[in-house]
Structure 1
């Protein structure tokens, strides 16, 4: 991540913490107060990306992105049907021996 991007991230976090709307002008003011010089496009891009988003909620859910995706995928596949609890059955994968995998292809690595 570049210095400009980090400056924008930190300025957005400071504005969020102070309950101030995140705008390009306010981000630029904070960045200049920190003694940094960034291209004007960066605060503009970051403010537009965060527009209408709850940055506090984004911060609180940083580590739960992958964990939340698994239950959502289960629900999409029909994990909950009208309040009934559906148990998922996991197939045990039988490990293949090296000989079997060689036979499947018709040749072995050291033949």
Structure 2
């Protein structure tokens, strides 16, 4: 007795969701890893900025996001391709903003 799903016993909504996931995976597989990683790095930058500009600023959460960004940028460096310089500058800027916010408290 096999209870594994097959096309005959999957609800249409579930089948549609599975198809959408498969399509998304295929699209993601076509994007260079350096681009995906760079996008995630910018997400960490934005997360740090959100925590720095919250009221009151959340320095602990911001520092974690900055440290994670630094791990990617400083760890991968030129492997990030053409985005490396932009990410390096973004890291320097968010670190400076962190120090300025921390010193203003």
Shared fold, TM over 0.5: no
What TM-score does the superposition give when structure 2 sets the normalisation length?
0.27
Q: Which structure has greater helix proportion?
A: 2
